[in-house]
Amino acid sequence: MPSNDIRYSLHTRIILFIGLILGIGAIVLALAAWQYAGIAARDAYDKLLIGGTIQVAENVYVQGGVVTLDPPAAAFSTLSAYDLVFYRVTDPRGVVVAGYGDLAPKIPAGKIRRGVILSDDIYQGQPVRVAAIGKQIDTPDGTGWVEIVLAQTLRARQALAWDLTSKALGMIAIMSLLALLAGAISVRIALKPLTRIEREIEARKPDDLRPIRMTPPNEIRALVSVLDDFMRRLADRIALMQRFIADAAHQMRTPLAELNAQVEILSNDADPKFQGQIQNLGTKITELGDLTSQLLDHAMVIHRAGAVSFSPLDLNALAKTTLAQTVPLSLEREVSIAFIPDADDVLVQGDAISIREALTNLINNALKHGAHSRLSVSVGQDEINAWISVCDDGPGIPLAEQTRLIAPFEIGADRTTGTGLGLSIAAEVAKAHGGALLFINEPEEFCVRLTLSRTVPAL
C-alpha cells in the first residue's frame, strides 16, 4: 500500500522537514544557551563571592592577643540579596572565633594559603558554593595562618541563569519562525515548475508515453529524467505483456484443437471402443485448465514485479504455510514431506503473493516430475541473500537444459505433460526480488533454490 506521506503535498512535507530541522536546531541552541547562561551566572557570582571572602579576610585582626573579626556589612549585604550566606573564621590553633563551627569544606590547608579556592558542597541540606582563603597573622604565640570560609546558596545564580536563558529562547523562537516563513515562501516559488510538468502529464492520453517535452530547470532535471525513464520502462513492460499474450494464445490453440477433435468423435460415435478418446479428452481438459491457470499466474507475476511495493516478510512462516497448502492430502505414491526452517528469523523485503506463487510452482513441479519418495522445503540465509530450496530424490534437470527450461513454455525432453511455465514464473519472481533461480545437483538429491536479495532491488 502507498505510504501515508502520499496524502500530504510535497510543499507540506518540505516545510515539515524544514520545521523539524529548525526545531532540532532550536533545541540545541536552547541547551547551549542554558549551559552558557549557567557559566556566566556562576562566573559573575563567583567573583562576588571571591571579593566578599577577601573583604572578610581583610577584616580579621588580632586584639588583645585574640583573633577577632569585624564582619563587613557591605559584602554580606551584596551576597545575601537572594541567598543565604554562611561563614567561618578559624585561628591558627584551629579554634572557631566567628561564624558556623560545622562549616568545614574539604579543602586542603596548603591550597588556601596560595589564594582563594572555590568548591561546591552541601551545607544544612542545601547546595552551596564555597570560597576559602588563608591569611597569615602575627599572634603573641608567633606567626600563624587564619582560615576564612564563606559559603553562599545557589538561588541567585539559578535565577540569573534562567533570566539569561529565557531572553535567549525568545530570540531563538523569533528567528526560527522567521526562517520557517522564509522557507515556506521560497519552496512555494521553487516548486512552480513541477505544476507545469503536472499539467503536461495530466493532459496526455493513457497511451502517450513519450518523454516530457518541457525543458525543466536544472534543480528538477533529475526528477524529469526519472519520469521519462519510468515511462520508457512502462512502454517496454506493455510491449512485453502484449508479446506474452500473443505467445500464450498460440500455445493454447493446440490443446483446444485436440479437445474439439475428441468432442467431435464422441458426438459421432458412442461405441465403447472410443473410451480411450474419452480419457484423452479428460487429459486435455486438465492440461487446458493448468495452462490457463499458469498463464494467469505468469501475467500476474510480471505485472506485480513493477507495480507492487515490497513489505517485510518472514520466509520461515511463508514457506511453511505454502508447503502445507500446496501438498495435497493424498498422493498417488508415498512421498515423505519435510520442512526445514532456518534457526533464526529470515526477514526480507518482498511481495508475499509473488513469492508464494513461485514456491507453489516449484513444489508442484517436484511432486509431478521429480520426487520419488522424498520432498523437502528448507529456508536459509547469509549476509546478502535469503533463499527457499525445494529438494527431492528425483533425477533432476540436466545441466544442459537448465537455462532453456527457465524460458516460458519449455518442457524437459523426458516429460509428456506440463505447461512449461512453472520454472519461468519462479525465475521472474527471483529476478524481481534481486535474486535468481538456481539448480543444485547432488548425488542423491536435486534442489531448485529461489534466492532473494536481503535489500530491496532497484526497479
Question: DSSP for 176-201?
Answer: HHHHHHHHHHHHHHHTHHHHHHHHHH
The predicted pLDDT at position 380 comes to 92
The predicted pLDDT at position 301 comes to 62
Give 120's strand partners. 129
- 386 has a pLDDT exceeding 90: yes
- Decide: helix, strand or coil at residue 293: helix
The predicted pLDDT at position 315 comes to 92
- What is the average per-residue pLDDT within 326-339? 80
Give the whole-angstrom CA distance, residue 261 versus residue 267: 10
pTM of the model: 0.41
The predicted pLDDT at position 125 comes to 86
The predicted pLDDT at position 378 comes to 93
pLDDT in tens, 23-64: 898 899 889 988 898 888 888 888 888 888 888 888 887 877
Which region among 12-21, 282-291, 343-352 has the lowest average model confidence (pLDDT)? 282-291
* Domains along the sequence of the chain with CATH: 1-190 (no CATH), 308-453 (3.30.565.10)
Give the whole-angstrom CA distance, residue 231 versus residue 245: 21
Which region among 100-104, 398-402, 443-447 has the lowest average model confidence (pLDDT)? 398-402
What average pLDDT is seen over the chain?
78
Packing angle of the helix pair 352-365, 275-307 (nearest 10 deg): 150
Cβ(437)–Cβ(365) below 8 Å: no
Give the whole-angstrom CA distance, residue 350 versus residue 372: 32
